[in-house]
Structure 1
Amino acid sequence: MSDLKTPRIIAITNQKGGVGKTTTAINLGAALAELGETVLIVDIDPQGNASTGLGVSVRDRDQTTYDLLHEDAPLARVVHKTGVERLDVAPATTDLSSTDVALGTQENRVFLLRDALSTDTARGYDYILIDCPPSLSLLTVNALVACHAVLVPLQAEFFALEGLSQLMLTVRDVRETANPGLRIEGVVLTMYDQRNNLSQQVEADARATLGDLVLHTRIPRNVRLSEAPSYALPALIYDPLSKGSLAYMDLAKEILARHAKRKEPA
């Protein structure tokens, strides 16, 4: 990669599982790539679902984010091309599940991912999206230390806001101790059904509580979003005109617009 950049690094995280975190990583990455950005998805979830959803089979994961964090493997050896132009992935395996125990006493343990992404290979991308595990583990803390901002998928369901306060406290702690520039990119409502009173109430509560942190784009419940991973494709490739695909394109455009606005001179 010849043109070195300063990539925008976004950690996609929520310690609650099943909120559309990996779906968001895959499809936001594909949408940004479709809009002309070069994107790397870094999978640090031991389940490796983002890797599978982007077509990297387990048998092809010779070098993974485990090697990146545990063995000092260079990022260039870990990255795989996907079937989507301008979209790459650094895959994960279940080996990552040992990270908290294996690295628990290592002095620089929270800086490992930051250091791994401070390379010329990383600087070849416009955006790096980190798909985090559904927990506030050492892996997630590594992502918070390495990133510029946090994107939080929030499922439009009862108790959606419960537990979010703990994530916000963790973000604050990381900002105070290891990453002073860390900010909240936004909260994106997922699995939203506009015909459902509960979804509308969750949105109202989220906007009343979090204000402008809640992004305008809402990701609907959509069968194509659920089907696409079984074909190892982002929904934007599997069915680009589905409501889910169009929503992720809107999310990518909203994030790009926010970044452009921040770069404008005061």
Structure 2
Amino acid sequence: MIVISLLNRKGGAGKTTASVNLAAIFAHTYKKRVLLADIDPQANATTYLNKFISKDEISIYDVLCKDTPIKEAIIDTDIDNLKLIPANVNLDNADTQLMMLPTAKEFVLKKKLRELDGEFDYIFIDCPPARNNLTTNALTASNYTILPCEATEYGIDSIFAMTEFISNVQSDVNDNLKVAGILFTKRENTTAQRYYIEQFKTNLDSYHFFDTEIRKTTVVEKSLAEHSPLIVYGKKEEVTNDYIKVAKELEQIIKGEI
């Protein structure tokens, strides 16, 4: 069971879109048993998959903060082989409640995921756009992390902040965590973006950069509005093929071929 977290401190960088679509491709195209865990209080991954969880329904909050068995929080999606642990508004309180734990607050999610050993091939975690206890829990539980980002000045600042955060987690609680790579999203072939991509690669030369960059297109916004991942909504679209290529590269990274 491989656990992969996607994170970026900056909202709107394509983190949730990448989380949902990579999970959907591994499930739909590669026929893997996949679980997507939404630990972002905005619950965008949950709504992207056309699920709307009220505050009275079981969510990832109950798993993390009320010791609810994780299997009770898993729900079906419209994608074959893809399951979801949804988020709801209760998750706004989770960071504070995790902080109040006397010990091992970083390991709550990891301990819960152990209940699923043998049931899934891949678990993708959509993290909140913050360096907090929820994100720390995700990284502590993960084998790999992916950093989706835009090629902008703010994007560089955000990724630098996250790489420092990741290094601290690796040093303190999870020395097995690997950065699968930095994934450029919302790519437009402009002079400014080419400049910032070069800055990224110069200043973060120890990191892997995914060969494929996710192009900016209204197709993504339409798939979000239809609550349907690209592999279903727009199977023949160029941006869908971008994500398929990234999924293939990710699989090669996990197998040690890259």
Equivalence map 1:109-258=2 (5 Å): 109-119=105-115, 121-194=116-189, 196-211=190-205, 212-258=207-253
What one-letter code is carried by the residue in structure 2 that aligns with 1:261? G
Equivalent residue pairs, number: 255
What one-letter code is carried by the residue in structure 2 that aligns with 1:71? K
Structure 2 gaps, min length 5: none
CA RMSD of aligned residues (A): 1.6
- State the secondary structure of the residue aligned to 2:192: helix
Q: Kindly indicate whether the alpha-carbon contact (under 8 Å) linking 2:55 and 2:88 is maintained by their aligned counterparts in 1.
A: no
Cα distance in 1, alignment partners of residues 56 and 8 from structure 2: 25
- Specify the alignment match of 2:88 in structure 1: 93
What one-letter code is carried by the residue in structure 2 that aligns with 1:218? E
Q: Kindly indicate whether the alpha-carbon contact (under 8 Å) linking 1:28 and 1:248 is maintained by their aligned counterparts in 2.
A: yes
TM-score by length of 1: 0.91
Post-superposition shift, 1:136?
A: 0.4
Post-superposition shift, 1:60?
A: 9.4
Deviations along 1:11-34, one digit per CA (max 9) or x if unpaired, are 100111110000000101111111
Structure 1 gaps, min length 5: 1-6
Cα distance in 2, alignment partners of residues 143 and 50 from structure 1: 15
Cα distance in 2, alignment partners of residues 32 and 60 from structure 1: 30
- State the secondary structure of the residue aligned to 1:103: helix
Q: Kindly indicate whether the alpha-carbon contact (under 8 Å) linking 1:75 and 1:122 is maintained by their aligned counterparts in 2.
A: no
- State the secondary structure of the residue aligned to 2:156: coil
2:8 is aligned with 1:11: no
Q: Kindly indicate whether the alpha-carbon contact (under 8 Å) linking 1:190 and 1:220 is maintained by their aligned counterparts in 2.
A: yes
Deviations along 1:49-89, one digit per CA (max 9) or x if unpaired, are 10111121224972110011011111211111111111111
Q: Which stretches of structure 1, 4 residues or more, deviate above 6 A after TM superposition?
A: none
Q: Kindly indicate whether the alpha-carbon contact (under 8 Å) linking 2:54 and 2:88 is maintained by their aligned counterparts in 1.
A: no
